[in-house]
Amino acid sequence: MKPVASVSLDLDNLWAYLRTHGDPGWEHLPSFLPSAVPRLLDVFGEQGLTTTVFVVGADAERDDGAAAVAAITAAGHEVANHSFWHRPWLHRYPEAELEAEVARAEEAITAAGAPRPTGFRGPGYSVTPGLLDVLTRRGYRYDASVLPTWIGPLARAYHNRTAGSTDGGADLFGGFGRVRGPNDAYRWRDNGLVELPVTTMPLLRVPIHGAYLLQLHQLSPRLARGYFRTALRLCRARAVSPSVLLHPTDVLTAAEAPGMEFFPGMAVPGREKVALLGWVLSSLREHFDVVGTGEHVTRVAATGLRERDPVTCG
């Protein structure tokens, strides 16, 4: 049998990227969901994949977001919680505000027709012991908020250099210490919640998800494919069950995401993006049994998981 792997999609919308980047145009809540969601569902369908989509509550309350949730659910994908307002500095929130953020997103997601979510991912890979306590009280099975890499401070420096505002930018994406975190699933001690990190390349601990592959593709398509093949080989050699992360920008052209010229890979034509994503998913399926994050957690939890003390990972 092939080892398990998972694919998840953070359904971050255009307004959320613009707000984090300090663009006042976010207040009009521009959306690219009507373009991105059908395209992504087509790619998943062509690959025969069932994935997990982390939905922002504020979008689930909109007509286009509710339609996206309905389409995702109808296609058999898991819908999970990505907070209500997608603020990447959730680790600054007191526990009562965290609970309100999680609960309001739950309500919006279920009102849009999806089952009550049991998985959560913090925007900006933000997680604290307080958030884990909130998720445990609310009956969540897993969190998927950790990105174990040393690259966070470099990504933060790039973001703050190009952003119109650096509000909240002082601690975006975590510090160098994240590289010491596990690269595979584990349980948080005391609450028993499963953490499924976004996988980084074993040994090197550099990201392998869509935006980074597209940035490499922009330099050289051959380089991007070789990089991902190396990551998969290392995952198999190190017995890491990869959890691969995607975003809507992985299939969108620059014209479909106005104002996001700063984002990695936006110069890559849309047709090339879709082709690269199809290749990535096909390559993953060649070596792994690919499922959504919820199913991934179910399978690895049945084998027994190591425990780790909750620490701030903001």
pLDDT, one tens digit per residue, over 162-203 is 666 555 555 667 777 778 889 999 999 988 999 999 999 999
Amino acid 198: pLDDT: 96
* Residue at 260: amino acid letter: M
Q: Is residue 175 part of a domain?
A: yes
Q: How far apart are CA 177 and CA 198, in angstroms?
A: 16
Q: Is residue 263 part of a domain?
A: no
Q: Is residue 122 part of a domain?
A: yes
| Rg for the chain, CA atoms, rounded | 18
Q: How far apart are CA 129 and CA 285, in angstroms?
A: 34
Amino acid 164: pLDDT: 62
Distance from chain centroid for Cα 262: 19
Q: What is the pTM of this model?
A: 0.95
Q: How far is CA 130 from CA 89, 135, 143, in A?
A: 13, 9, 13
Q: What digits encode the pLDDT tens for the residues 303-313? A: 889 998 876 54
246 has which bridge partners? Answer: 9
Q: Is residue 42 part of a domain?
A: yes
**Which backbone phi and psi does 140 adopt, to 5 degrees?**
-75, 150
> How many structural domains comprise the chain?
1
- Kindly write down the DSSP assignment for every residue of the chain, as one continuous string: -PPEEEEEEE---HHHHHHHTT-GGGGG----HHHHHHHHHHHHHHHT---EEEE-HHHHTSHHHHHHHHHHHHTT-EEEE--SS--TTGGGS-HHHHHHHHHHHHHHHHHTTPPPP-EE--TTS---HHHHHHHHHTT--EE------S-HHHHHHHHHHH-S--TTGGGTT--GGGGGS-SS-EEETTT--EE-PPPB-TTT--B-SHHHHHHHHHH-HHHHHHHHHHHHHHHHHTT---EEEE-GGGS--GGGSTT-TTSTTTTS-HHHHHHHHHHHHHHHHHHSEEE-HHHHHHHHHTT---EE------
Amino acid 226: pLDDT: 98
Q: Is residue 267 part of a domain?
A: no
Residues of the chain with pLDDT under 70: 156, 158-160, 162-172, 311-314
Answer positive or negative: Cα dihedral of 84, 52, 266, 226: positive
The boundaries of the domain holding residue 74 are 4-201+241-248+285-306
CATH number at residue 54: 3.20.20.370
Q: Is residue 266 part of a domain?
A: no
Q: Is residue 196 part of a domain?
A: yes
Tokens 């919820």 correspond to 294
Amino acid 74: pLDDT: 98
Residue 27 has a CB neighbour count (10 Å cut-off) of 10
Q: Is residue 137 part of a domain?
A: yes
Contact between 204 and 150 under an 8 Å Cβ cutoff? The reply is no
